Structure 1
């Protein structure tokens, strides 16, 4: 199956987010191409290989996680709501910081063990080592 490569004349032109419906403007700084909405962090499944715009899926790529790369940059992990493809995208300077931080701390909100257990152990370790920073 072949597709034409160009879907928009300018890959950095403004568009409406397919997920939240808000307007998305080109990146002003901190990146070259806008590939997700800075408001809801969603994207559209457009690529087979990064930048080729040849996927026929066009499902909503929902942000499911973030991760820190070796170079200390953060990337979003997206999963397609239609075909379940998983892709990563670098965050942009104007991305919704509240959503990014929420995604970063969300795993800590559902620990597989009681949080009081780890806090008690940390407090005891701090006391045993004579730390001036004792958890209360």
Structure 2
């Protein structure tokens, strides 16, 4: 799709991350980014400061083929949702979604996001058609 006359391309002007959909959920050295208002065993997150978590992404429940969530170790909490999870090459593989809690208490530092599989590839292909 080309940019209409008289308009600028946002990506060309400010940059953008690419994406890597349909490649599974296991990746070495990923980065999760967000503006969390709270975190797992953290008191310094205020919702205004940009935080990052780094580590490996893996299939959260590889024993369940119907569960397409991936997970990383990340202490960011509420407010980090929808922030990107991306490779060190700048390719988005997922987005921060949720963490495990019971009785409103966070259980661990696992941070979950959906694997962007074949359905996401189909959406991108349709948009680019």
> Is the structural similarity TM-score above 0.5?
no
If each structure's strand is expressed as a fraction of its own residues, which one has the higher value?
2
Q: State the TM-score, normalized to the length of structure 2.
A: 0.30
Pick the structure with greater CA Rg: 1
Q: State the TM-score, normalized to the length of structure 1.
A: 0.29
If each structure's helix is expressed as a fraction of its own residues, which one has the higher value?
1
Structure scoring higher RCO (CA < 8 A, sep ≥ 6) equals 2
